[in-house]
Amino acid sequence: MSGRKILSPQSPGTWALGAALDQSQALARLLQRLQESQARFAAIRERLPDALRGAVRPGPLDDAGWSLLAQSGAVAAKLRQLLPELEAALQDQGWQATPIRIKVRSG
């Protein structure tokens, strides 16, 4: 096998993801927020205790703040204790001060 990807043809009336992002400001902004959420998480990941790193995921970023998604209530409680340190780490790395919300992931 040559290792080339075989792309299936698009259905009439559909756009490739890249074209949709180029044509829609809302989708482009969504992608930008997703990338910023992941970058913020990368900036604080090393500040998380080893035992928590696999139990926390970056969540939505919106005008009201940024969410961290905790695997359980216990993880959420520990994250809440770490909030001042995490917020300081983000500011030290040049991120705008944005409230961090902690949410327990469902499922």
- Is pLDDT above 50 for 4? no
d(CA 104, CA 1) in angstroms, rounded, equals 44
Interval 45-83: pLDDT, tens: 999 999 999 999 999 999 899 999 999 999 999 999 999
| Other residues' Cβ atoms within 10 Å of the Cβ of residue 56 | 22
Residue 47 near residue 85, CB atoms below 8 Å: yes
CATH topology of domain 17-104: GMP Synthetase; Chain A, domain 3 (3.30.300)
| Global confidence as pTM | 0.75
Considering only CA atoms, which of 18, 1, 29 is closest in space to residue 10?
A: 18
